[in-house]
Amino acid sequence: MTFGNLIDLGFALIAYLAATRRGRWMILFWILFPLHASTLFLEFRKSTVVLALLLPAFTAFLAHGDRKRLSAWLIATLMIYSAMTPIANYGRAEIVERGGNNVYSATFVERLEILHHALTRDRESIIKNRGGGEQASWLRLDYSGPMAFAMNSYDRSYTNPTIKDGLWRLVPRAVWPDKPTISGPGRDFYQLVSGTDRQARVGITYYADAYWNGGWPMVVVVSCLIGLFFAIASAYALRWIRTKNFVMFPAILLVADFALRGLNGWVQNGFALIPYLLAYALFIQTLRLFYIHKVKRNLAADRLSVEPHANPRP
């Protein structure tokens, strides 16, 4: 979870207040949120835009419970996702071609220029020039090709220790100063498949990653661990949602992120979120205990100051 996700959570809370109290909160949301959402297009990341659109929709749904309004918002989000796919692909490729080491290296002005070019050119031209294909947006829903490559590699006795590398990632560099730099598995996989050094990333799902690491036994182990995690996390998440415990919404976001990464990520990407989840839950619980202790201490002090006056001695 990044700082940008915290901003999205802030707008999600404003959306909830707008749906319950309306008035100034409604005006505030519709003034600020379009500005925030429009700046996200400059990142050329579809997941960022989709997450920013979905969080306010779900929190507002908790308030109004109108499924038609939620469905309309989801359909609009799906249309935006499909429409921006060639633009996002064009923008990322353009940044790399201009000499950036990765898609995060372009400045704000450069991103504005690239976005302007993408919006002013016709769709066919964008698709032809780095757009990724007419139906490229749906490739995110089908990873059978990368999965087949990983499984065939294991069957040919070529394994990949991505899960073990993920465990090393959890060791702080302060504890292990000589810890080697571990590159992302998605980039290594893309370079292995394509035979190029392009800075692109491809996922293969949790289960194909588990198979590549240890065959069907590893798939069973990883699946059981994931199932156990979701059994516990979903119970807490549903409780927080029912009680409208908004302070725990970042934790719910981490759980949702873990789930979504299973469709296009790697095992280490998902399980790497667990320490952040535990750290946040521990932080909130510590603050809660500190607040309760402070309240009890103040009540005890007030009681001691009142009792001598309430029962004066003769």
| Residue 239: its H or E element | helix 205-242
C-alpha angle 269-275-278 in degrees, rounded to nearest 5: 135
Would the pLDDT of 240 be above 80? yes
pTM across the whole model: 0.69
**What integer best gives the mean pLDDT of the chain?**
80
Would the pLDDT of 136 be above 80? no
Look up residue 301 and give its two tokens.
């002090």
Give percent of the chain above pLDDT 90: 10
Tell me if 56 sits within 8 A of 69, measured CB to CB.
Answer: no
Tell me if 115 sits within 8 A of 161, measured CB to CB.
Answer: no
The answer to whether the Cα torsion of 145, 54, 234, 273 is positive or negative is positive
The answer to whether the Cα torsion of 21, 25, 27, 33 is positive or negative is negative
Distance CA 114, CA 238 (A): 42
Distance of CA 30 to the CA centre of its chain: 24
- Closest residue by Cα to residue 208 from 154, 157, 139: 154
Q: Which amino acid would we find at residue 267?
A: V
Tell me if 126 sits within 8 A of 86, measured CB to CB.
Answer: yes
Model confidence at 218, pLDDT cuts 50, 70, 90, reads very high
Query: What integer pLDDT is reported at residue 131 of this predicted model?
Result: 45
Write the pLDDT tens digit of every residue in 67-91: 898 899 999 998 888 888 778 878 8
Helix, strand, or coil (residue 149): helix
Other C-beta atoms closer than 10 Å to the C-beta of 287 total: 11
Query: What integer pLDDT is reported at residue 252 of this predicted model?
Result: 80
Tell me if 59 sits within 8 A of 13, measured CB to CB.
Answer: yes
**130-134, 148-152, 157-161: least confident range:** 130-134
Mean pLDDT, to the nearest integer, of 273-296? Answer: 83
Listing DSSP states for 91-127 in one string gives: HHHHHHHTT-SSTT-S-HHHHHHHHHHHHHS-HHHHI
